[in-house]
């Protein structure tokens, strides 16, 4: 009896495998952008916005990765 082809969900697998460093990278982007803006003569408000957005994005991304892990563990056959 042949088994049907089961979906593999490669994007979900990538997120589960690399989610932690990807979360850190995404969270660092507004901070680095604000720093670059200030160093190129922009207002300090951009750096302050980066300082506020970075931890919020980190929390959002880590939560998203955790949900992807739960979905991967419960719904994708091994």
d(CA 56, CA 63): 11
pLDDT in tens, 12-65: 989 999 999 999 999 999 999 999 999 999 999 999 999 999 999 999 999 999
CA 29 to CA 13: how far, in whole Å?
23
Is-above-0.85 flag for pTM?
no
């Amino acid at each position: 009896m042949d088994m049907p082809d089961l979906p593999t969900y490669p994007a979900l697998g990538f997120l589960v495998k690399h989610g932690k460093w990807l979360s850190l990278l995404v969270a660092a982007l507004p901070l680095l952008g604000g720093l670059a803006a200030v160093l190129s003569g922009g207002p300090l408000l951009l750096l302050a916005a980066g300082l506020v957005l970075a931890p919020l994005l980190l929390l959002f991304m880590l939560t998203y990765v955790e949900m992807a892990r739960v979905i991967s563990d419960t719904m994708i056959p091994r």
